[in-house]
Amino acid sequence: MLDALASALQLDAGTLKLFHVESATQTELFRLLPSVDELLRSQAISPLISAHGHAAVVEACRAALDELRRSIVEGPAEATANRERVESAIAMLPAAVSAQLAHSSRLSLRRVVNATGVVLHTNLGRAPLAESALQHALEVARGYSNLEFDLAAGERGERDAHVDRLFRLLFSDIEAQVSGQPSPQRTQSQFRTIVVNNNAAAVLLALNTLAEGGEVIVSRGELVEIGGSFRIPEVMAKSGAILREVGTTNRTRLADYEQAISERTKLLLRVHRSNFKIIGFTEQPPLEALVELGRRRQIPVVEDLGSGALVSAETMGGVAEPTVSARLRAGVDVVTFSGDKLLGGPQAGILAGRAELIARIRSNPLFRALRVDKLIYSVLESTLLAYVRQQFEAVPALRMLQLTAGELLARAQALAAQLAASCRGRAQVEVVACESVVGGGAAPGWELPSHGLAVVISGMGADELLIRLRGHEPPVIARVEHGRVMLDMRTVLPGEESEIVAALKSALGEI
Ligand SMILES: *Cc1c(COP(=O)(O)O)cnc(C)c1O
């Protein structure tokens, strides 16, 4: 037995003999175990170090030995059976270490299949990116780029230039193209945009630049909290501006703003109710009235628009969210919005507005701390180019929003047929109508009619099935509705159906 053990471990048999004992009490069983160092030196394990790194292999050896120690402690009292069991487990140590390494050395941030129907799911990375954007990022990131280099002048340039030019086009043209009206000329030179890490950073930067040490007037009905601990009062405090709340939760009038204005007032702030609705006895002054008040009293109006749609509802499957260009046209001085919500691009925060205000914001040293890198610029630029070219179907988030209930029914039926063939009746699969949501704090209460599959496996609870689907590679993320696992087809990307089939098959296999 010892020789077999020594050869399995590819250790020198003499080393193992040191642990050789006649009777197998628990202490003696422990003595059979090699040390971490011995394992590391063994011929079966030492080659793993070059592939996985010393620290990871040490960790895996420790974990495998700990597991074995636990099994000794918890093992049956009968000594000889125990001894055989432990010896064969020792022989299996290299395999256990390899398995542990295969698990621990895979990437932690992984692709998942989103079958939740939440298009901009913040926990699942919000917007999937356009193919052209990924290609561009690959090309830009692989080598050097003109990120801050003006190729025409041969000197230092500004990183903003790459996307500012496209935003200018979009803000002058997009609404006009969609509605067929001529574009207003003033937009070309008056507006400018800059990009920071996310919309939270954009709001912080705007408040800090334009209102530090002064007061910012906000309606009590707009003191929002967005998922992931973005709260307007807290961001305000960090910006060094003083929050001046006006009105009530449900009703704020223009007069409330007007009465609160003093020589300390630096800004009128409007915050989009991205993730909630106030209904019933409500009042909010029209944006135009707020803009007019700002003009009259010479106080800039900033709007945190949150999602920042660039196109109208018809291009987003009917999802009606205010567009950035409409807000700029209404006279808002600076609009802030996210890059990875309805825009369908990378995580970024965009500040768009009057050129002189944006220039002031850009010269704030905080901008340097919040700016984004070439990867974000390359993805954002290509995504915006798709908008400029009106190739909206190239932007996955827009494409998913546009899918009709009929198209989704056909996909659900096709997947149900595949499942029926491969799961042979062991899973009960029903095609059902369901509602997808936009997510990402956009269009609260808006539901997109969709279709999906409701899955039940006899002898397995819905929560257990969810766990098994998550444990598959790639993980499949679904939700439970009325005791059944629901897979909404809207957010399942083309080609992912076969992965869902494989995940369900392996879930069945483990019963
Ligand atoms: C989403 C949202 C934010 C936060 O944007 P991030 O890009 O996630 O930082 C801020 N304000 C509003 C109104 C939002 O909807």
The pLDDT tens digits of the residues spanning 455-484 come to 999 899 999 999 999 999 999 999 999 999
User: Which range (86-95, 152-161, 184-193, 219-228) has the least confidence?
Assistant: 184-193
Q: Is the CB of 339 under 6 A from ligand 1?
A: no
What's the DSSP call for residue 306? E
Residue 346: CB within 6 Å of ligand 1?
A: no
Q: Is the dihedral of CA 427, 428, 433, 439 positive or negative?
A: negative
Percent of the chain at pLDDT exceeding 90: 73
Name which residue sits closest to atom 11 of ligand 1, judged by CA.
Answer: 306
pLDDT band at 175 (very low <50, low <70, confident <90, very high): very low
From ligand 1's centre to the CA of 256, what distance in Å?
Answer: 26
Omega before 184 cis (within 30°)? no
The predicted pLDDT at position 504 comes to 95
* Residue of 120, 124, 195, 230 to test ligand 1 pocket, by largest number of atoms within 8 Å of CB: 230
Q: Whose CA is nearest to atom 14 of ligand 1?
A: 306
CA of 188 relative to ligand 1 center, distance in Å: 27
Torsion angles phi and psi, residue 364, rounded to 5: -70, 130
Question: Distance between CA atoms of 440 and 368, rounded to whole angstroms?
Answer: 27
What pLDDT does residue 424 have? 75
The CA distance from 116 to 487, in Å, is 6
Contact by Cβ (8 Å): 166, 350: no
**Ligand 1 atom closest to Cα of residue 224:** 13
State how far the Cα of 46 lies from the Cα of 454, in Å rounded to an integer: 49
Could you tell me the distance, in angstroms and rounded to a whole number, from the CA of residue 274 to the centre of ligand 1? Answer: 8
Dist. CA 52 → ligand 1 center (Å) = 39
For ligand 1, the distance from its centroid to the CA atom of residue 4, given in whole angstroms, is 63
Q: Which domains does the chain have, with CATH numbers?
A: 2-104 (no CATH), 167-373 (3.40.640.10), 401-509 (3.90.1150.180)
Mean pLDDT of the chain: 90
Q: Using pLDDT thresholds of 50, 70 and 90, give the confidence band for residue 509.
A: confident
pLDDT at 5: 59
Q: How far apart are CA 336 and CA 195, in angstroms?
A: 10
3-state secondary structure at position 466: helix
Q: How confident is the model at residue 262 (pLDDT cuts 50, 70, 90)?
A: very high
Ligand 1 atom with the shortest distance to the CA of 348? 7
CB of 284 within 6 A of ligand 1: the answer is no
Q: Check pocket membership of 336 for ligand 1, CB cut-off 6 A.
A: no
- 31 Cβ contact partners less than 8 Å away, ≥ 6 residues apart: 19, 21
User: Which pLDDT score, from 0 to 100, does residue 378 have?
Assistant: 98
Atom of ligand 1 nearest to the CA of 202: 9
Distance in angstroms (rounded) separating the CA atoms of residues 233 and 230? 9
Categorize the per-residue pLDDT at 423 as very low, low, confident or very high, splitting at 50, 70 and 90.
confident
Lowest mean pLDDT among 86-90, 134-138, 209-213, 291-295: 86-90
The number of the ligand 1 atom at minimal distance from the alpha carbon of 305 is 13
Q: Is the CB of 271 under 6 A from ligand 1?
A: yes
* Arithmetic mean of pLDDT, 206-231: 91
For the CA of 274, the nearest atom of ligand 1: 15
Residue 179 has pLDDT above 80, yes or no: no
Going from the C-alpha of 63 to that of each of 3, 83, 100, 256, 492, the distances in angstroms are 25, 20, 8, 64, 37
* Average pLDDT of span 91-105: 91
| pLDDT of 275 higher than 90 | no
Is the beta carbon of 226 within 6 A of some atom in ligand 1?
yes
Going by alpha carbons, the residue nearest to atom 7 of ligand 1 is 199
Q: What is the mean pLDDT of residues 279-300?
A: 93
Cβ neighbors of 186 (< 8 A, separation 6 or more) are none
Question: Does the pLDDT of residue 88 top 70, yes or no?
Answer: yes
Examine the pLDDT at 178 and tell me if it is beyond 50: no
Mean pLDDT of the region 324-328? 94
Is the pLDDT score of 228 beyond 60? Answer: yes
CA–centroid distance, 126 to ligand 1, in Å, is 12
The pLDDT score that the predictor gives to residue 4 is 57
Least confident range from 14-23, 128-137, 410-419, 479-488: namely: 14-23
Give pTM, 2 decimals. Answer: 0.88
Per-residue confidence (pLDDT) for residue 104, from 0 to 100:
87
Overall average pLDDT of the 77-103 stretch: 86
For the stretch 331-385, pLDDT in tens is 999 999 999 999 999 999 999 999 999 999 999 999 999 999 999 999 999 999 9
Rounded to whole angstroms, the maximal C-alpha distance in the chain is: 97
Give residue 337 CA to ligand 1 midpoint distance, Å: 7
Residue 122 alpha carbon to ligand 1 centre in Å: 11
10 versus 163: which is more confidently predicted? 163
- Ligand 1 atom nearest to CA at 122: 8
Confidence of residue 9 (pLDDT cuts 50, 70, 90): low
Angle among Cα 298, 299, 303 to the nearest 5 degrees reads 140
